[in-house]
């Protein structure tokens, strides 16, 4: 963070006095992410985020055209500019190099700005001890669950890990309730599936640190499928994770409960 970031946040605070909250920071990041592609002003909580000069300041960059031009040049050849840099910088350059094959230069600039904004917001979180946890509610088969989940663009405080781990047991219990009458399988990386019992699900997930549930239903028109809502979903997935090392999803254990009417699949 620097003076440009702090100045930009003062503009933002005028628009939203509640900016220094989980909801406020999360919404600001969403507005910054939408700014280059969404033109409808009503879609934005923070109108100032639509101004690229403000986004540059949030990224810690002096809002001058020459800096924007330099950033555009760097994004046109990320690996070339990082050739003599440290290893971690070169790794980051490879990411942007790959993205440059998909997005044009302007989109690449916006992506870089957003990543810097997110890094600064996360540092602000730590400084002000702002959690990334939000209240959530889900309803499947007429049964509701209120739980706490993370805003994935915000960083996690030490206390957030404890909160999410405490949510695992009620989420697993909820999953087993709403999948009553369904056929539950554990899924594997090679797409194989193994039937499991309720007790096996409880045992496997007993040491999980994070869990979430989501339903999924598809209506088919020929070979084209469309996601739809069904009171009794086609399948209900439980995802559980056991590590918090930045590669959480690579160490997950997943369960899928299928509707007993196999003609749906």
- Based on the domain organization, do 14 and 60 belong to the same domain? yes
Query: Is pLDDT above 50 for 53?
Result: yes
| Tens digit of each residue's pLDDT (9 = 90 or more) over 157-174 | 999 999 999 999 999 999
- Based on the domain organization, do 181 and 105 belong to the same domain? no
Per-residue pLDDT, 95? 60
Per-residue pLDDT, 192? 86
- Based on the domain organization, do 8 and 116 belong to the same domain? yes
Query: Is pLDDT above 60 for 249?
Result: no
How many structural domains compose the chain?
Answer: 2
Domain boundary among 128, 158, 182: 128
**What is the domain extent for residue 79?**
3-128
Per-residue pLDDT, 247? 43
| Tens digit of each residue's pLDDT (9 = 90 or more) over 75-105 | 666 555 455 556 665 565 566 655 655 556 6
- Based on the domain organization, do 122 and 158 belong to the same domain? no
Mean pLDDT of 213-238: 91
Domain boundary among 128, 154, 181: 128
- Based on the domain organization, do 113 and 168 belong to the same domain? no
pTM, to two decimals:
0.80
**Where does the pLDDT of residue 203 fall: very low under 50, low under 70, confident under 90, or very high at 90 and above?**
very high
- Based on the domain organization, do 188 and 234 belong to the same domain? yes
- Based on the domain organization, do 123 and 138 belong to the same domain? no
- Based on the domain organization, do 7 and 48 belong to the same domain? yes
- Based on the domain organization, do 253 and 148 belong to the same domain? yes
- Based on the domain organization, do 47 and 165 belong to the same domain? no
- Based on the domain organization, do 215 and 256 belong to the same domain? yes
- Based on the domain organization, do 159 and 246 belong to the same domain? yes
Q: What is the mean pLDDT of the chain?
A: 86
Query: Is pLDDT above 60 for 116?
Result: yes
Domain boundary among 99, 128, 157: 128
Chain-centroid distance, C-alpha 200: 29
Per-residue pLDDT, 89? 54
DSSP letters for 35-59: TTT---GGG-S-GGGGSHHHHHHHT
Neighbours of 162 (CB within 10 A): 10
């Amino acid at each position: 963070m620097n003076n440009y970031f702090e100045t930009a946040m003062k503009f933002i605070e005028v628009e939203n006095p509640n900016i220094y909250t989980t909801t406020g920071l999360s919404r600001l990041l969403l507005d910054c992410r939408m700014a280059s592609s969404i033109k409808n002003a009503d879609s934005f909580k923070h109108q100032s985020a639509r101004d690229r000069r403000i986004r540059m300041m949030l990224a810690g960059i002096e809002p001058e055209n020459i800096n924007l031009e330099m950033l555009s040049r760097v994004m046109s050849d990320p690996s070339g500019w990082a050739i003599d840099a440290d290893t971690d910088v070169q790794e980051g350059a490879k990411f942007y190099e790959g993205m440059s094959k998909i997005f044009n230069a302007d989109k690449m600039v916006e992506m870089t700005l957003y990543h810097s904004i997110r890094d600064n917001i996360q540092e602000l979180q730590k400084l002000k001890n702002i959690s990334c946890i939000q209240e959530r509610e889900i309803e499947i088969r007429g049964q509701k669950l209120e739980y706490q989940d993370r805003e994935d663009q915000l960083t996690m405080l030490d206390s957030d890990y404890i909160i999410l781990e405490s949510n695992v047991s009620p989420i697993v219990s909820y999953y087993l309730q709403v999948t009553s009458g369904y056929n539950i399988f554990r899924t594997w990386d090679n797409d194989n599936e193994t039937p499991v019992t309720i007790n096996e699900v409880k045992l496997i997930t007993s040491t999980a640190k994070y869990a979430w549930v989501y339903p999924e239903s598809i209506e088919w028109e020929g070979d084209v499928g469309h996601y739809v809502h069904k009171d009794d979903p086609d399948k209900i997935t439980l995802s559980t994770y056991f590590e918090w090392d930045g590669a959480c999803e690579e160490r997950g254990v997943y369960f899928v409960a299928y509707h007993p009417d196999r003609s749906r699949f």
